Amino acid sequence: MVTLTNAKVFDGWRTLPGTHDVVLRKNRIVSIEPSSPEPHGEGDVAPGDDLRVDLEGRYLLPGLITCHLHPDFYKLKMAAGERPGKELPPGVMMAIGVRTCRVLLESGFTGYAGAACAHDIDVQLKLAIAEDIIPGPRIRACGHHIGTTGDMNNQSHWWQAQETPGLDLLADGPDALRALVRAEIGRGVETIKIMASAGHGIPGRVTRNIARDEIAAIVDAAHDRGAKVRAHVADKAMILECIELGVDIIDHGDDIDHEVIEAMVEAGTFWVPSLVYLWSLLEVGLGRAFGVSRETYDHVRSMIPSAQEAGVRILTGDDYSGFLRHLITDDPLDHQVGNYGREFAFYSDIDGLTPEILLSWATGNAGQLLVDPPARVGVIEPGAYADLIVVDGDPLADLSLLSRPDESLKAVMRDGAFMIDRLSEGSPRTLVIA
């Protein structure tokens, strides 16, 4: 049994008053009680097996979770007409995924929800972590982009193969797409990714990328076997159609308005705005080339407080890739330590968004996506998995602390085990990023 004492606790929704002692047994949280000099509770452990760690007033938070991640995107160098997944051999892209997992832990992120990857890398990373082969976060595995012949991901020259062997899988018609979904789930995929419409940085605006009956078939096949569906979608009509048909996660949603917000709330749909990507394209002067306007960016930004107030389950996460590193000295979307935490401060100057709200997007809300009930993550409460981080300083007063984990991050626990321990001087339990 492990007791983390004298902690200021953000429980995934709010900051608890005073300091608390949090008791862990194996990989679960047992109790949260106001700090006491005496141990709380009774543990079925042998004498000497109890561990008490005094956090000395530091902040204890649920491990952070990013919900739109491509673990294999890194230094993309695609030739004309190529797609991610084709530019490097599968083994190299798997190595990139291993590196990304380590970077996530060093950044205080104990979980990620995949948003598509090549070569079933999410699934393989999850298995390697479960087998204790590599250190890594808790993963909700996504698979390939599921698409249709000639869709926006496959608009290369007619004399070139359109389907990317790694990232994209194509089929046409409800039955064929249903079969693709079942095959994905059979390989261990937990989230199906579709590209419903273009926009949000994909050149060549396409209002509809897949037929209504095809989306319905994908959603039904996924839900029948316990998987979720997420959709890259920008156009309002397609956003509403995706929500109506049961898509679980709206990625981007550039045309969001109050009607869309109402539909999201009623259906319980998750929303990932991913505005850092749009901002980055505009900053480097690539907005026009990628179909992104300042008006679109400002519109989405202005709608976020309304969505939050209405009860939309908003999530953090963006298209981390590093493909702008040759244009930006410090590319915020590069897979580097601290970059994922930049999102909190990025949104913090929007009126109506408090630090607690922003942190809840990557903890309480994200936990509801990352695992299926009755499992619980992203919260500090009895029965939840012990995915936790310790932060030196007050992240609720200074969200930028989460973008400087080398300074502020003192410990990372996943599944009740220390992945990183900087609480005691000279501790060997610190990951090293190559």
- 218-232: per-residue pLDDT in tens? 999 999 999 999 999
Higher per-residue pLDDT: 40 or 146: 146
- Given this model, what pLDDT does residue 46 score? 38
Closest CA to 14 of 265, 404, 353, 380: 380
- Given this model, what pLDDT does residue 205 score? 64
Higher per-residue pLDDT: 365 or 324: 365
pLDDT of residue 88 exceeding 90 = no
Distance CA 280, CA 271 (A): 20
pLDDT band per the 50, 70, 90 thresholds, residue 40: low
- Given this model, what pLDDT does residue 204 score? 64
pLDDT of residue 82 exceeding 80 = no
- Given this model, what pLDDT does residue 332 score? 87
The two three-digit tokens of residue 155, written as one number: 């608009």
Residue 67 one-letter amino acid: C
Averaged pLDDT score across all residues of the chain: 89
pLDDT band per the 50, 70, 90 thresholds, residue 207: confident
H helix runs in 257-353, sequence order: 258-267, 275-283, 294-310, 342-347
- Given this model, what pLDDT does residue 216 score? 98
Distance CA 62, CA 209 (A): 38
Give pLDDT tens digits for 262-285: 999 999 999 999 999 999 999 989
Mean of pLDDT values over 207-211: 87
Distance CA 322, CA 336 (A): 9
Where b means 16+ CB within 10 Å and e means fewer, 200-220 reads bbbeeebebbbeeebbbbbbb
SS3 413: strand
The two three-digit tokens of residue 7, written as one number: 């902690």
- Given this model, what pLDDT does residue 80 score? 52
Residue 274 in contact with residue 319, Cβ under 8 Å? Answer: yes
How far apart, in Å, do the first and last CA atoms of the chain sit? 33
Q: What percent of the chain has pLDDT over 70?
A: 88
- Given this model, what pLDDT does residue 45 score? 38
Higher per-residue pLDDT: 227 or 50: 227
Exposure on the CB side of residue 254, measured as CA atoms within 13 A: 26
Closest CA to 260 of 210, 314, 220: 314
pLDDT band per the 50, 70, 90 thresholds, residue 155: low
Distance CA 68, CA 315 (A): 9
For the chain, the domains span 64-341
- Given this model, what pLDDT does residue 433 score? 42
Residue 191 in contact with residue 229, Cβ under 8 Å? Answer: yes
Distance CA 379, CA 381 (A): 6
Mean of pLDDT values over 422-432: 60
Residue 369 in contact with residue 312, Cβ under 8 Å? Answer: no
- Given this model, what pLDDT does residue 349 score? 92
pLDDT of residue 165 exceeding 80 = no
Query: Which residues make Cβ contacts (< 8 Å) with residue 371, sequence separation at least 6?
Result: 138, 140, 377, 385
pLDDT of residue 65 exceeding 50 = yes
The two three-digit tokens of residue 330, written as one number: 């410090």
Answer yes or no: pTM beyond 0.85: yes
Higher per-residue pLDDT: 46 or 301: 301
H helix runs in 168-209, sequence order: 174-186
Query: Which residues make Cβ contacts (< 8 Å) with residue 174, sequence separation at least 6?
Result: 213, 214, 216, 217
Architecture of 64-341 per CATH? Answer: Alpha-Beta Barrel (3.20)
- Given this model, what pLDDT does residue 428 score? 47
Task: Identify the residue whose tokens are 């095809």.
Answer: 214
Radius of gyration from C-alpha coordinates of the chain: 21
